A and B are shown apart, each in its own frame.
Chain A
Amino acid sequence: EVKVVESGGGLVQPGGSLRLSCAASGFNFSNYNMNWVRQAPGKGLEWVSYISASSRTISYIDSVKGRFTISRDNAKNSLFLQMNSLRDEDTAVYYCARAPLGFSDHWGQGTLVTVSS
């Protein structure tokens, strides 16, 4: 069974940092691209970042460029999102998703990030 499980969310003050993790199982992680997608309270889905299987291609939405860093460890079947200089508007549920051809075919349950003083 394909499974992705996010962790690392929590409450952080504006300007602070968090590192989200995503543990993958049930598929050959090193062969798949991955996405991070978020949903702010009461809002729609927003794509955040993409990383190719080899980490050669990485993309971000403009609002997080220079603050967030996506990475992966194929040996440990893990995806990461390092979030620095967090802002109130980064408050959201963050989803990790497998992205075979860019679209997300398997999603986790999400991890909540709350940025508040």
Chain B
Amino acid sequence: DIQMTQSPSSLSASVGDTVTIACRTSQAIFTYLHWYQLKRGTAPKLLIYTASTLQSGVPSRFSGSGSGTDFSLTISSLQPEDSASYYCQQTYATPFTFGQGTNLAI
């Protein structure tokens, strides 16, 4: 199985800040890496797919980068509604493993 290492596990930031979440995979996965946002009581939301493609309807302050084994999600100009958990996932090979998650507090 492909192991996912996501960091940090939690972080606190202020409105207007820029934060970066990292995701490292145990083997190269090209760009089969995706990012999701989870908020309590709502359906999970796809933010970024194939490492850097912004999902339709997602604000442009979200961006993704990386290939191979190292990836990152950057959120700029943080807004209060960005307070949530964020997960990376690889779909290069089954099982489609997720990172451990990052809890972002604004």
Contacts and interface: CB of A to CB of B under 8 A. Distances in A.
A108 B91 CA distance: 20
A106 B87 CA distance: 15
Contacts, number: 60
Interface residues on B, range: 20 to 34
Interface string B72-102: 0000000000000101010100111111110
- State the main secondary structure of chain A at its contact with B: strand
B87 A45 contact: yes
Interface residues of A, number: 24
Interface string A24-63: 0000000000010101000011110010000000011110
A93 to B, nearest CB: 10
Contacts of A107: 43-46
Interface of B: 32, 34, 36, 38, 42-46, 49-50, 55, 85, 87, 89, 91, 94-101
Top 5 closest pairs, chain A to chain B, by CB = A102-B91, A103-B34, A59-B94, A47-B96, A44-B101
